[in-house]
């Protein structure tokens, strides 16, 4: 066993013993989920042929039509997924609706893997302040679509190859049906928002913050900016690691986005201190009068 494999195994075992909601699932080809047979005599050969055919006809693989049972109640849109999985809970799609206007621009927000039902709510409301309507889709096997007995989305990406392919196809088709619903309800400028955009924004925040610190001449201001920027960046990284399952639950909110009045106020004060420290430490040119 190589040192890298040994390190990965130790890491996975440590995570498995720390989190009590992780499930160990066996490897399966799962070809019955993509049009094959569970007892296929040559599963590798079938999968190789399936990949070639699907790539050549990808348009048909992801094709869909509007659902015939859209229902909006209490701010939640539900409809039946075109892709039928073995679990009825997963086949009923849920999407939280955050309207800004009755028409105009709208986006479908795709949360990260293992996101909770209340995740990204502040981001949706912030987009509302910009006049953008948001439809936050619950991905397959997430929150209300979870398989009974599973707290995590173990079937969206797992050791069952066919089921993983089917689940990701279901996610794409569910998203397209959400876009159809928005178009039917008068929203003409449509788009997608992935939570990767949040990572990009935090990356820009850290880059700009440390550049401000480097440009500051006053030593105290430099250290203050580095400390505050590092604190917000560390909180963001820990929150993202918890959401994606890399760390156990810590209780830290996502700075400037997660719900919480006290946390939001303290984050805004920290940003104000960063800007004020930068202004205080900027080099000043002294005007001299020449006689």
CB neighbours of residue 158 within 10 Å: 19
Q: pLDDT tens digits, residue range 126-136?
A: 889 888 899 99
Beta strands in the chain (DSSP E): 71-73, 76-80, 92-98, 105-110, 133-137, 189-194
Query: Tokens 């397209």 label which residue?
Result: 176
pLDDT band at 139 (very low <50, low <70, confident <90, very high): very high
User: Domain extents for the chain?
Assistant: 59-194, 198-281
Q: What is the chain's mean pLDDT, rounded? A: 86
- Going by C-beta distance under 8 Å and a sequence separation of 6 or more, which residues neighbour residue 267? 232, 255, 256
Q: pLDDT tens digits, residue range 77-117?
A: 999 999 999 999 999 999 999 999 888 899 999 988 888 89
Model pTM score: 0.66
Q: pLDDT tens digits, residue range 255-287?
A: 887 766 788 888 889 999 998 888 887 655 444
pLDDT at 30: 95
């Amino acid at each position: 066993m190589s040192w890298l494999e040994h390190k990965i195994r130790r890491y996975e075992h440590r995570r498995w013993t720390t989190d009590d909601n992780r499930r160990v699932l066996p490897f399966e080809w799962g070809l019955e989920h993509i049009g094959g047979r569970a007892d296929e005599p040559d599963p590798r050969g079938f999968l190789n042929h399936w990949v070639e055919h699907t790539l050549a006809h990808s348009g048909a693989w992801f094709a869909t039509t509007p659902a015939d049972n859209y229902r909006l109640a209490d701010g939640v849109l539900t409809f039946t997924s075109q892709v039928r999985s073995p679990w009825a809970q997963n086949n009923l799609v849920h999407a939280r609706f955050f309207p800004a206007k009755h028409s105009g621009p709208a986006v479908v927000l795709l949360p990260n893997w293992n996101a909770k039902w209340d995740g990204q709510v502040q981001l949706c409301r912030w987009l509302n302040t910009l006049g953008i309507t948001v439809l936050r889709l619950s991905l397959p096997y997430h929150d209300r679509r979870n398989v009974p007995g599973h707290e995590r989305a173990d079937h969206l990406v797992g050791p069952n190859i066919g089921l993983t392919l089917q689940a990701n196809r279901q996610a794409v088709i569910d998203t397209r049906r959400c876009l159809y619903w928005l178009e039917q309800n008068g929203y003409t400028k449509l788009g997608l928002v992935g939570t990767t955009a949040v990572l990009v924004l935090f990356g820009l925040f850290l880059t700009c913050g440390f550049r401000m610190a480097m440009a500051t001449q006053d030593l105290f201001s430099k250290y203050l900016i580095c400390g505050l920027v590092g604190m917000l960046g560390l909180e963001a990284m820990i929150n993202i690691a918890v959401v994606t399952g890399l760390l156990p639950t810590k209780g830290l909110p996502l700075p400037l986005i997660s719900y919480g009045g006290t946390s939001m106020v303290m984050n805004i004060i920290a940003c104000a201190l960063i800007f004020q420290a930068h202004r205080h430490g900027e080099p000043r040119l002294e005007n001299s009068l020449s006689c």
